[in-house]
Amino acid sequence: MGDVLQSTAVPTSTDETRTPLSEIALLFLKLGTTAFGGPAAHIAMMLEEVVHRRHWLTQEEFLDRVSAANLIPGPSSTELAIHIGLRRGGWSGLVVAGACFILPAALIVGVLAWVYVRFGSLPQTSGLLYGVKPVVIAIVVQALWKMGRAAVKTKLLALIGVICLVLTAAGMNVLLVLVGGGVLALVLRWRQTGSMKTALMLPLKKAVLLGAAVPASGVAAAAGLWPVFFVFVKIGSVLFGSGYVLLAFLRADLVDRHHWLTTQQLLDAVAVGQFTPGPVFTTATFVGYILHGAAGAAVATLGIFLPAFVFVAISAVVIPRVRRSPAARAVLDGINVASLALMAWVTWQLARAAVVDWFTVLLLLASTIVLLRLPRVNSAWLILISAFAGLLKSMH
C-alpha cells in the first residue's frame, strides 16, 4: 500500500468526560466573532482551538467530523461546530456550540441590515478586508499542513487526494468528489485484501439526505413570516457549496420566483455575509431584516440553520460505527483526503483574490511564518492586527 508518511505527533484526546457548557459557549462565541474568511478559514481556526490547544478531539476525530459535515447539505463550518459541541457536551453541547457560533455573526449582520434599511447603503469595509484576507489564507495553509500530515497516511491516499484536487479544479460536483474519494479508497483496499465490504454504502446514505426534510416550495406571494421561514428551511436543507452557490439559490427563490428582493439588494446581502465573521449563511439574517424587520431576521436565521442541527444529529450516529469497520475506515480515509483537496482548491481561489500587491504578499508570508513557527500564537490577534494595518494602508 505504500509507506506511511511522516507526521508530527498530535496529543490524543482520551478524556471522555464532558466539557462544561460554559467553556463550549465561550470558545464558539469567540470563534463566531473572529472567524473571518469563510468555511475553510473557520475549519482551520477550529482545528487550532479544539485539537491543538484544548485537545478536545484527536486529529482523526476532527477529520472524521469535517468529512461528515462536507457530506450533508448546509453550512459545513457551522455543522462542524455542532459536531464538536455534541462530542464534548452531548445534546446540550450540540445546541450551545451551534448557537454560539451563529449568534455573533447574526447580531453583526442584523446591525448592518438596520443601517442598510435606514440609510440605504453599507458602511465602507474595503480597507479592513484588504488586510484580513491574506492572513485568512495563511491560517488555512497552516490547517491544511497539519490536517494533511494526519490524513495522508499512505502514498495511495496522497494519490487519491491529487486526483480529487484535479477533479475539483475541472469543475466536478463537490459531493461527487467526496463520495468518489471514499469509493476509490475502498476499491484500492479491496484490491489489496480481496474482500469487498458492504460499507461502500455508508457514505452514500448521507448523500440521500439531499432529498430529506425539504418542505414544499409553494409559498404565498407576500413575504409573510411563515413563507420566509419555509423558503430558508428549504435552502438550508438542500444547499451544498460556497456563498456563491448560496447566491444562486437565493436569487432563484427571492428574486425570480417570489420577487421579494431586487438583484442589487440580494448582492448587498451576500456581500455582508462574505465580509462579516462567522457563517456566510447569516446572509439570511440580512435578507430577513429587509423583508420583515427584526422578526424576519430571526425567522430567516432560524430557518436556514435549523436543518444543520437536524442533519448533524442524524449523521453523528454513523461516525463511531464507521470507524469500527476496516472497510468503512478506508472509505472515510478517502473522504478525508478528498475534503482536504476541496479545501486546497478553495484556498487557491481565495488567494488569487486576496493577494493583489506587495503589501498583501508581505502580510501572507509574515503570517504564514508566524503560524508555522510559533504554533501557540492565537490567529485572532493576527486578524485584528492585519485589519488595523489594512485600514492604515488604505487611508494613504
pLDDT tens digits, one per residue of 309-348: 999 998 887 766 766 777 777 877 887 788 788 778 877 8
Banded model confidence at residue 239, pLDDT cuts 50, 70, 90 = confident
Banded model confidence at residue 130, pLDDT cuts 50, 70, 90 = confident
Banded model confidence at residue 96, pLDDT cuts 50, 70, 90 = very high
Alpha carbon 285 to chain centroid, angstroms:
18
**pLDDT value at position 271?**
65
Between these two residues, 238 and 323, which has the higher pLDDT value?
238
Banded model confidence at residue 192, pLDDT cuts 50, 70, 90 = low
Structure letter (DSSP) for residue 19: P
User: Terminus-to-terminus CA distance in the chain, angstroms?
Assistant: 57
Report whether pLDDT(81) > 50: yes
Report whether pLDDT(220) > 50: no
Banded model confidence at residue 214, pLDDT cuts 50, 70, 90 = very low
**pLDDT value at position 240?**
62
The per-residue pLDDT for range 344-396, each reduced to its tens digit, is 887 787 688 778 889 889 988 988 888 888 766 766 678 778 878 887 887 76
The cell numbers describing 373, all together, are: 513557527
What is the identity of the amino acid at 105? A
List Cα–Cα distances, 383 to 128, 234, 380, 387, in angstroms.
Answer: 10, 34, 5, 6
The cell numbers describing 109, all together, are: 449582520
Helix axes 76-119, 59-71, angle to 10 degrees: 60
Between these two residues, 385 and 101, which has the higher pLDDT value?
101
Helix axes 126-151, 358-373, angle to 10 degrees: 40
**pLDDT value at position 21?**
96
Which pTM was predicted? 0.66
Tell me what the pLDDT averaged over the chain comes to.
79
- Category of 301 on φ-ψ map: left (φ > 0), alpha (ψ -120 to 50) or beta: alpha
Structure letter (DSSP) for residue 199: G
The per-residue pLDDT for range 23-47, each reduced to its tens digit, is 999 999 999 998 876 787 788 889 9
Structure letter (DSSP) for residue 378: -
Banded model confidence at residue 241, pLDDT cuts 50, 70, 90 = low
**pLDDT value at position 46?**
93
The cell numbers describing 96, all together, are: 450551545
Q: CB of 168 within 8 A of CB of 177? A: yes
Least confident among 205-219, 231-245, 246-260? 205-219
Between these two residues, 221 and 388, which has the higher pLDDT value?
388
Between these two residues, 306 and 70, which has the higher pLDDT value?
306
Report whether pLDDT(189) > 90: no
**pLDDT value at position 163?**
92
The cell numbers describing 329, all together, are: 475506515
Spell out where 143-266 has E strands: none
Between these two residues, 374 and 56, which has the higher pLDDT value?
56
The per-residue pLDDT for range 149-184, each reduced to its tens digit, is 777 888 888 899 899 889 888 888 766 887 888 888
